[in-house]
Amino acid sequence: MAPPATCQSCRRSPSESLLRYRKGEEYVRHDALLQCDVCERFVCGECLEVYDILSGDDFLCHACAQTFHKPFGGPLPPGTRGH
């Protein structure tokens, strides 16, 4: 499936800065929006982060990443982007 024209979380069009994904202290540049490994939405670099959880390159949007940090998938803290 080809990535959509806009981020499926924040609805912004991908620009150069939104195609830079954070991986720890570094940034990884991609040519298109990346897909969250959990919810499968295509999201920009501000809505997704590259984690090293299982495979070394796990792509999780911030909402899905919160489920790994909160026991039983509790509510997101105020101001956190969600689905």
pLDDT of 36-49, one tens digit each? 988 999 999 999 87
Do 49 and 23 form a contact (C-beta atoms < 8 A)? Answer: yes
pLDDT of residue 71: 53
**Which of the residues in the chain have pLDDT under 70?**
52-56, 68-83
pLDDT of residue 50: 79
pLDDT of residue 24: 77
Total-model pTM: 0.70
Sheet holding 48-51, edge to edge: 26-29, 20-23, 48-51, 58-61
Sign of CA dihedral 34, 35, 38, 41: positive
